[in-house]
């Protein structure tokens, strides 16, 4: 419940290379507006994407929306990564949530992300 950022920012990416898939629930994206927090998040994402590619994303509708800069975004995202080695990837052409996704909180509608794109800025 928020420790994922510190743990992933400090892990050696070669350790993560052992895993074919990694699923992480990332908390409090809206805190990326803070420079120190943003750097922590970037280190975590860099560790994760050294040997893996994002293949799925789902917003947790139990958490509220937040604002980063002037952009509204879910504050909690569930992200699936797949080891890149030996695979070819292309941008998704479908919208999120997909028909396979379900709202975390069934009493509320799922959060619509549209054609969510993850971009590696390295």
Write out pLDDT tens, residues 63-102: 999 988 888 989 999 999 999 999 998 877 789 999 999 9
Q: Which of 46, 58, 50, 55 is nearest to 5 (CA)?
A: 46
Q: Where are the alpha helices (DSSP H) in 1-122?
A: 3-10, 13-16, 35-49
Asked if 7 and 16 count as a contact pair (C-beta separation under 8 A), the reply is no
Largest Cα–Cα distance of the chain, in whole Å? 41
Enumerate residues 6+ apart whose C-beta is below 8 A from 43. 8, 9, 10
pLDDT score of 120 more than 80:
no
Helical (H) or strand (E) element with 59: strand 52-59
β-sheet bridge partners, residue 76: 27
pTM (two decimals): 0.89
Position 122 pLDDT exceeds 50: no
């Amino acid at each position: 419940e928020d420790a994922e950022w510190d743990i992933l920012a400090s892990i050696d990416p070669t350790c993560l290379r052992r895993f074919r898939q990694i699923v992480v629930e990332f908390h409090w994206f809206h805190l990326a507006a803070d420079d120190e927090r943003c750097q922590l998040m970037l280190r975590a994402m860099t560790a994760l994407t050294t040997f893996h590619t994002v293949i799925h994303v789902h917003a947790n509708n139990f958490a509220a929306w937040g604002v980063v800069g002037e952009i509204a975004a879910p504050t909690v995202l569930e992200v699936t990564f797949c080891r890149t080695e030996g695979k070819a990837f292309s941008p998704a052409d479908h919208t999120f949530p997909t028909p396979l996704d379900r709202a975390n909180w069934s009493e509320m509608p799922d959060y619509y992300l549209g054609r969510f794109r993850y971009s590696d800025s390295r």
